[in-house]
């Protein structure tokens, strides 16, 4: 029988971000041929902070994430990030010829590799699938395995590249809850790239908008978690959509009161 997703064992309060910067990017430039994608970019993220990055398609979000992940060279520019980093992509990228626990343990060494992999799978509610083949997993299960593979390395910086875009709306909500639970427990610095404004507001301490190669706007989200779609949420949403050049639309009529209802389904996705 499938086990339920884990529920937060820690208090609802998030880990306290320290004043010390975990990520620092100064006047960063990235060009591809004649095209300048990032142009004098400045970003600082505090240790333990959860930051969401919004922007139109092609604005350089994934380019920045790949740079911070160490996947692209920095060419001697001023970029600082924790040495222990892990990335969760939109595609779970599990190796189909390795069982789930071996995917999680990929690159690990030592006599306790399987135990560590199973402990990480237990945290994401997937230990009962440790010996399964990736092809038998649902989309949500595959993303949970990808999260386990990232967290088993105890990263100082967790990078999320639209990790929930390929799953259905209900699974996405469950993944939101899971990510927040894991963030509270492990307290990594998190940078999440997303196209969904509501997702960014629901999860992050701070939302950045990338435009023309630079940070064009910043919103600090000082709403209690779990976050409700109330007037404050809607005001933040309207400002962020405005920064992205999108006019906020009124929510569809709902037979139940919307004011104060918990965030249910994302409605602020940017369509480029």
pLDDT in tens, 150-170: 999 999 999 999 988 888 888
Which residues, at least 6 apart from 123, have a Cβ–Cβ distance to it below 8 Å? 6, 148, 151, 182, 185
Segments forming the whole domain that contains residue 93:
21-262
Confidence of residue 249 (pLDDT cuts 50, 70, 90): low
Pairing of strands 228-229, 261-262: antiparallel
Q: Does the residue 12 lie in any domain?
A: no
Q: Does the residue 4 lie in any domain?
A: no
- Which tens digit of pLDDT belongs to each residue from 40-95? 999 999 999 999 999 988 889 999 999 999 999 888 899 999 999 999 998 899 99
Q: Does the residue 70 lie in any domain?
A: yes
> The pTM is what?
0.84
Q: Provide the 10 A C-beta neighbour count for residue 249.
A: 9
Q: Does the residue 87 lie in any domain?
A: yes
| Segment 129-147 mean pLDDT | 95
37 and 31 Cβ atoms separated by less than 8 Å: yes
- Which tens digit of pLDDT belongs to each residue from 93-128? 999 999 999 999 998 988 899 999 999 999 999 999
The CATH number given to whatever domain includes residue 140 is 3.40.50.300
Confidence of residue 256 (pLDDT cuts 50, 70, 90): very low
**Paired residues of 7 in beta bridges:** none
Q: Give SS3 for 160.
A: strand
- Which tens digit of pLDDT belongs to each residue from 175-198? 999 999 999 999 999 999 999 999
- Which tens digit of pLDDT belongs to each residue from 222-248? 999 989 899 999 999 999 999 998 876
Alpha carbon 145 to its chain's center: 15
Q: Does the residue 181 lie in any domain?
A: yes
Number of domains in the chain: 1
Q: How far apart are CA 157 and CA 109, in angstroms?
A: 21
pLDDT attached to residue 223 = 94
Q: Does the residue 136 lie in any domain?
A: yes
Q: Does the residue 103 lie in any domain?
A: yes
Q: Does the residue 5 lie in any domain?
A: no
pLDDT attached to residue 260 = 41
> Counting every residue, how long is the chain?
272
């Amino acid at each position: 029988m499938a086990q339920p997703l884990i529920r937060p064992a820690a208090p609802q309060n998030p880990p306290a971000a320290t004043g010390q910067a975990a990520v620092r990017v100064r006047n960063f430039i990235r060009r591809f041929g004649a095209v300048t994608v990032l142009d004098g970019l400045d970003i600082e993220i505090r240790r333990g902070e959860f930051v969401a990055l919004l922007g139109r398609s092609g604005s350089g979000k994934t380019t920045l994430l790949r740079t911070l992940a160490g996947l692209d060279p920095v060419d001697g520019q001023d970029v600082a990030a924790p040495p222990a980093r892990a990335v969760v992509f939109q595609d779970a990228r599990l190796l189909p010829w390795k069982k789930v626990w071996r995917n999680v343990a990929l690159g690990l060494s030592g006599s306790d590799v399987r135990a560590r992999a199973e402990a990480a799978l237990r945290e994401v509610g997937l230990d009962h699938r440790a010996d399964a083949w990736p092809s038998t997993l649902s989309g949500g299960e595959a993303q949970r395995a990808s999260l386990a593979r990232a967290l088993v390395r105890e990263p100082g910086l967790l990078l999320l590249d639209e990790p929930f875009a390929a799953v259905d709306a209900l699974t996405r909500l469950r993944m939101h809850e899971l990510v927040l639970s894991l963030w509270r427990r492990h307290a990594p610095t998190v940078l999440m790239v997303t196209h969904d404004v509501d997702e960014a507001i629901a999860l992050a301490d701070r939302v950045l908008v990338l435009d023309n190669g630079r940070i064009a706007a910043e919103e600090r989200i000082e709403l209690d978690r779990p976050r409700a779609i109330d007037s404050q949420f809607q005001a933040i949403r309207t400002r962020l959509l405005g920064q992205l050049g999108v006019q906020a639309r009124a929510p569809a009529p709902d037979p139940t009161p919307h004011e104060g209802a918990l965030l249910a389904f994302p409605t602020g996705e940017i369509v480029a």
